[in-house]
Amino acid sequence: MANTLLSQIQALGVLVDIDSMDAKAAESLSVSTTFHSMTSNQAIVNGQLQVQWDVNLEPLVSQYVQDAAIDISTEDGILKVLDLVTVLLASKVIPYLDKTGRVLVQTSPRIAYDKDATVAHAKALISVFGKHGISRDRVCIKIPATPESILACKELEESGIRTLATCLFSVPQAMAASQAGCLYIAPYFNELRVHFPEGSSSYIEYSDPVRQHPMSPIIYSIIQAFKERQISTAVMPASIITVDEAVALARLRPHHLTISDRVLALLAVAPGRSDDELAAVTLKVIEEKSVFDVDYLSNNAAALQVALPKDAETSRKIKEALEIFGRQEEESIQFLRKALSTNEA
């Protein structure tokens, strides 16, 4: 294999995941590399739904709606259809993953503050995967890291369903997720909004992101805390915009990096860098030791309920992320209703 920047990152011991449901991109990139897992969210599902509808999805989805007598005018009915779409898209990518890798799909943002509904949706997704020949040991459910949903993660983990805490921007969220037994956490390097036209102007490209980006010390602190406490939850930074950001995050030595197919394609052809440019860095841990040792889950996640409102930036980022994912989910719903109604006519 050529000594590319992507192969160098993997040689550091960082597992690389593909943050995409584009099976063609996964197939193309798999010629030169191996991905561990695939991650997704409502925005990724929405984009691929509209790209792949006519060729890969429409016949299977239409048949399902007919056979199961789904009423797509109801919220319950259309969300069942969207779950099927999510599983079908994931099933196209799983052949290009490591044999122990997982497909990761996200619960609905509209229920992010409802523990029982989040648990029910996660179990429904696992059921649909099973019906399509994908066992739960190849699936992980992404769940927004609100207090209620972190408690949902704990319940799901205890039932044998693996979880990832997403929409994660802070140490208390990370520690709570580890206490819930999550398989992964995905701290966002960039805010979700910068991936969309309406928020792209807020993106800042730092000349030295490992030292200048405001999320670098937060993610570093989480990684170090997990190592010191021998926490098994793996850190999988997400929301990576540039090649330099991928390199910066690799220098923090997380367990995984989940990277879009666009950035992966750039990394796969980028020439290798010097050892110094890829060397591990030491940053200042941002929180007092006591913050890492709080019991965030007891009394219905009372400590997390207190910690989040005190952190205005994290609260804003969670709120915005859930709103964006909610809009993307609603676009998918409207697309499906229109497409399936047209078929019926």
Q: Is 142 a catalytic residue?
A: yes
133 dihedral zone (left: phi>0; alpha: psi -120 to 50; beta): left
The neighbouring-strand residues paired with 141 are 105, 163
161 dihedral zone (left: phi>0; alpha: psi -120 to 50; beta): beta
Burial annotation 263-298 (CB, 10 A radius, 16+ → b, else e): bbbbbbebebeeeeebeeeebebbbeeebbebebbe
The neighbouring-strand residues paired with 15 are 256
Set 80, 92, 115, 142: catalytic member:
142
Nearest Cα residue to 90 out of 178, 8, 22: 22
Following CA atoms 136, 92, 195, 42 in sequence, which dihedral angle do they give, to the nearest 10 degrees?
A: -50
Active site residues: 142
